[in-house]
Amino acid sequence: MYKIKLDKFEGPLDLLLFFIRRDELDIYDIPISRITGEFLEYVNLIKELDLEVAGDFILMASTLMHIKVRMLLPREIDEKGEEIDPRADLIAALLEYKKYKEMSEELSFFESAQRKVSYRGNFSLDEKVSPPEYDILLKNVTIFDLTKAFKKAIEGLKPQPVHQINKINITIDEMIQYILDKLDTEIEVHFLKLVENMKEKIRIVITFVALLELTKGGIITIRESNDFNDFVLMKGANG
């Protein structure tokens, strides 16, 4: 059996909301005849393709047809003597669905933004020397803070002549072990102190990549130091 992918609608309400947004219709005054015709065209398409989701759409199509018929008949009167709009229940359902869909889209945006920030743990156990109101500034170290310290380390190197190429055999695994060995003898290590004796730029780069790998695996954690161009490494929960 061939599978054909259509535009993804999460359900019949999603499709109706798509029509309303596309044509800039008033959700409180839906043109039932017009929207029913388009909805039925879509239902006929998915029926021909024998898609499993057709059932819910067929049910909504019958609801729209029922509302369309009621719109042609004299309006019913409620207890207050006011006309009952046959579209009222549909409008209420659409408004409720629209509210949750917009909330979902907003949460998805925040989730995407949050993925760009790396939080460290054990902040509550740190010895704090700053006033409590500054805790929020020190709690989380972002990739920009790490990059700033990395840039400081690179800028501290003296320029070397480029007339000779020296191959340096250094791997990420070796630098990971180098960092772990340091943390076996010291509770915490400053990044700039870690690389201060390194003369080759590539060695500092590999060391920086190694600590990112260790941080990602929870083997080490990172916090800011008093020098905002530096940061401190400590053993993490998995270290």
Same domain? For 142 and 193 the reply is yes
Q: Is 96 exposed, middle or buried (0-12, 13-18, 19+ CB in 10 A)?
A: exposed
Amino acid 121: pLDDT = 57
125 compared with 150, residue with greater pLDDT = 150
229 compared with 15, residue with greater pLDDT = 15
> pLDDT tens for residues 193-212?
888 888 888 888 888 888 88
Same domain? For 37 and 133 the reply is no
Same domain? For 223 and 196 the reply is yes
Average pLDDT over residues 4-30: 76
Under DSSP, is residue 44 helix (H, G, I), strand (E, B) or coil? Answer: helix
Same domain? For 110 and 171 the reply is no
178 compared with 223, residue with greater pLDDT = 178
The answer to whether 18 and 9 have CB atoms below 8 angstroms apart is yes
Amino acid 4: pLDDT = 36
pLDDT above 60 (res 129): no
> CB count, 10 Å around CB of 27?
15
Closest by Cα among 188, 184, 177 to 214: 177
Structure tokens at 218: 């929870």
Helices 32-48, 54-72: crossing angle, 10 deg rounding: 150
Amino acid 6: pLDDT = 44
Q: Which residues, 6 or more positions from 121, have their beta carbon under 8 angstroms from its beta carbon?
A: 218, 221, 236, 237
The total domain count for the chain is 2
Structure tokens at 66: 């029922």
Cα(239)–Cα(235) distance, integer angstroms: 5
Average pLDDT over residues 89-106: 86
Average pLDDT over residues 45-54: 65
Q: What percent of the chain is modeled with pLDDT above 70?
A: 74
Q: Which domain holds residue 144?
A: 123-235
pLDDT above 60 (res 3): no
Average pLDDT over residues 208-230: 84
pLDDT above 50 (res 46): yes
Cα(124)–Cα(223) distance, integer angstroms: 12
pLDDT above 80 (res 126): no
Q: Which of 53-62, 142-151, 177-186 has the lowest mean pLDDT?
A: 142-151
CATH code, 163: 1.10.10.580
Same domain? For 29 and 129 the reply is no
Residue 1 domain-assigned?
no
The answer to whether 69 and 86 have CB atoms below 8 angstroms apart is no
The answer to whether 208 and 156 have CB atoms below 8 angstroms apart is no
Cα(211)–Cα(220) distance, integer angstroms: 8
Amino acid 177: pLDDT = 92
Amino acid 215: pLDDT = 87
Same domain? For 128 and 51 the reply is no
